[in-house]
Structure 1
Amino acid sequence: MSRPARLLQLLDLLRRARQPRSGPQLAQTLQISLRTLYRDIATLREQGAAIVGDPGIGYEMRPGFLLPPLMFTADELEALLLGARWARQQADPQLASAAGTAMDRIRSALPLELRIEVDTTGLLVPPVATPDQQPEPWQSSLRQAIRAQHKVVLHYQDQHGVLTHRPVWPFAMAYFERCRVVSAWCELRQDFRHFRADRVLTLHDSGERYPQSRQQLIRRWLQHTGYQVQMG
């Protein structure tokens, strides 16, 4: 976990706590040392967080303290909420849970009038999965491999039922309504290939970083496919 993400999680823990949390409790929850926790608390205090307490006593957020309000337009909030609701329907359980947590965190930092807008929005994402359609168990592993830029080996069954072992360098995953498609460089074909996640039988993350960066692969892939995408 990055330090900014850890600081945000620490703020969230203190904000939700109903009684002071001890340093060891917080450190254990965040999986960091006590020394790191004390440094993080000092950093948050320097940035204006009203954290009271000391080692041996416990820490809590001063009553009435709120995170700095996040100012979004109504359209921006609706876009965020719609995206989070879509992710909760379409993504793997880990990503779906993260989408819900992210929206809860954003909601808690909003001014009252914007929080009401979020709670009463009429934008809905109806379920699209049939009862026998479950998220592929490899989604989370594939996402993590893409993030870490790791080579993986797919035991893959193509549309004709042919089984192959594919060492690939995954760099993107597209979420279509009925399936997820992984874009990767295939060592077997020495070319870019696309694999449906629901045709992956097993997946092994080698833990080995592939030789090119994800950014390089995406640029090559865009040139290869002829897509005209503006890169920010």
Structure 2
Amino acid sequence: MKRLHRLTAILVKLQSKRIVQAAELANKFEVSLRTIYRDMQALAEAGVPIGSEAGTGYFLVDGYSLPPVMFTEKEANALLTALKIIKTNNDQSLINEYQEAIEKVIAVLQTTQKKKLEILDQRIFTYNQSARHPSNSLSIIQQAITNLRVLEIQYTKASDEFSKRLVEPLGVYFTNNTWIMIAYCRLRKDYREFRTDRIQHILETQELFPSQKFTLEDYYNRRAHLYRTNISS
């Protein structure tokens, strides 16, 4: 990769993440740490406000933004293909949000790129089996996860039992064409998993819940440990 292209790619990476480590950039672009240090110095000398913290990484100073990014033909094709795949999932809110994002991307493409995308759009097909009970709550759940907002949900269990709950959303995962929300349920006073297609109504409240260290890996490790403990007892 030519240095100019690498410098541009580093800028995009810096804008996409809060903190970027030099080792991460070196691995991505297959260059030495010394080269990354020189690149950072070159960007700083060019007027890009780059901050750094020892042992943490590099970041862009708040308020700085890049001009609109131009997409390559392959990148635009990949985004269009991703849209086709997303349309096969069972959550309408995700489809709508991604569709709007793609439209913004298409708006900055050159005319020739737009024409090529129109051709490709007609020649990509993904089989979409209609969801029995489609979901429309994923976007709200995702927003509540990052904003630490308590959700009020009306939920129907597999037994058709209906309940109203306040939950603290912590994560989501996709399996068997269904989105699952992992949350702390205040009704059960424990972690629970909720199928989004069984959420009849959802409301993001103004109440905040305390931030906690949570990763899906830790969650599943705890679940596996409890399962093994129950089996052996």
TM-score normalized by the length of structure 2: 0.53
Q: What RMSD in Å do the two structures reach over aligned CA positions?
A: 3.4
CA separation of 1:211 and 1:110: change in aligned 2, threshold 3 A: same
Q: 2:166–2:187: 8 Å Cα contact kept in structure 1?
A: yes
Alignment of 1:113-124 (within 5 A): 113-121=112-120, 122-124=123-125
> How far apart are residue 181 of structure 1 and its match?
1.4
Are 1:127 and 2:128 counterparts? yes
**Distance (whole Å) between structure 1 residues aligned to residue 220 and residue 152 of structure 2:** 24
Whichever residue aligns with residue 129 of structure 1, its letter is S
In the alignment, what sits opposite 1:226?
Answer: 221
In the alignment, what sits opposite 1:145?
Answer: 144
**Unmatched runs of 5 consecutive residues or more in structure 1:** 1-46, 48-66, 228-232
Q: 2:157–2:198: 8 Å Cα contact kept in structure 1?
A: yes
Q: 1:156–1:163: 8 Å Cα contact kept in structure 2?
A: yes
TM-score normalized by the length of structure 1: 0.53
Q: 1:138–1:197: 8 Å Cα contact kept in structure 2?
A: yes
Alignment of 1:98-117 (within 5 A): 98-117=97-116
Alignment of 1:192-207 (within 5 A): 192-207=191-206
Q: 1:129–1:178: 8 Å Cα contact kept in structure 2?
A: no
Are 1:72 and 2:72 counterparts? yes
CA separation of 1:86 and 1:161: change in aligned 2, threshold 3 A: same
Whichever residue aligns with residue 149 of structure 1, its letter is L
CA separation of 1:89 and 1:147: change in aligned 2, threshold 3 A: farther
Whichever residue aligns with residue 180 of structure 1, its letter is W
Whichever residue aligns with residue 70 of structure 1, its letter is M
Aligned positions, number? 157
Whichever residue aligns with residue 115 of structure 2, its letter is I
**Distance (whole Å) between structure 2 residues aligned to residue 206 and residue 88 of structure 1:** 29
**Distance (whole Å) between structure 1 residues aligned to residue 161 and residue 100 of structure 2:** 40
Q: 2:150–2:207: 8 Å Cα contact kept in structure 1?
A: yes
> How far apart are residue 225 of structure 1 and its match?
0.6
**Distance (whole Å) between structure 1 residues aligned to residue 181 and residue 89 of structure 2:** 15
> How far apart are residue 93 of structure 1 and its match?
4.6
Identity, % of aligned positions: 19
Deviation string for 1:171-230 (max 9, x for gaps)? 3333445432112122344443210112223334331111115xx33x2x4212139xxx
